[in-house]
Homo-oligomer: A and B are copies of this chain.
């Protein structure tokens, strides 16, 4: 609460100054930096940069040692806390935004996949349950989609292998592989029921519509009483 007050009051400039300092300190403990150099980083004059440094010191976000023409700056615990607080906050904001979407009527590809025996057997084995013969389609906003993609990057999917099969007429058809991420689905307005499922990520998918497909054992529309437009939460699970 207090930290936030400190940041949000009106010293945006100081916050950004600290942020840029951290960027330039990198993995070192401290940094030698002149006010001219710091000014260049911040797109400010030497004078203002100098003032910034003084202010940061006054606030207690940095500590400074001036020896002759040299100044060594290091971030204090208080300063680190400020950065950490912002990081945590952003993380929370982004993750909170991330995990909400709207149920939508789907001619989802996923539903098609799950009905094919070669896929179904793999789903069954790798999910640990017999999935329902169709997927729940969730419409995401651009923001949500963006964030989901970013988040999935950090996770290890389990892969449903592709395969080839001879169709009637002796044409060989290729079936692509599918990436799956464990998740938990629930109604946003009623968090009592949480259902395990998986996000399906099909390789060659329509990029335009931000639709995510969920596979689960029960028929989600029934068990969660979902209709089109109902908002659901998709929680990503730590380990797959």
Contacts and interface: CB of A to CB of B under 8 A. Distances in A.
A159 interface: no
A184 interface: no
B9 A142 contact: no
Interface residues of A, number: 51
Given A8-B43, A12-B13, A42-B8, A23 B93 contact: yes
Interface in A56-108: 74-77, 79-81, 83-84, 86-91, 93-94, 96-97, 99-100
Task: Tell me the dominant secondary structure on chain A's binding face.
Answer: helix
A15 B220 CA distance: 39
Interface of A: 8-10, 12-13, 15-16, 19-20, 22-23, 25-29, 42-43, 74-77, 79-81, 83-84, 86-91, 93-94, 96-97, 99-100, 141-143, 146-147, 150, 156, 188, 231, 233, 238-239
Determine which residue in A80, A94, A238 has the highest number of CB atoms from chain B within 10 A of its CB, and name it.
A80
Nearest to A43: B9
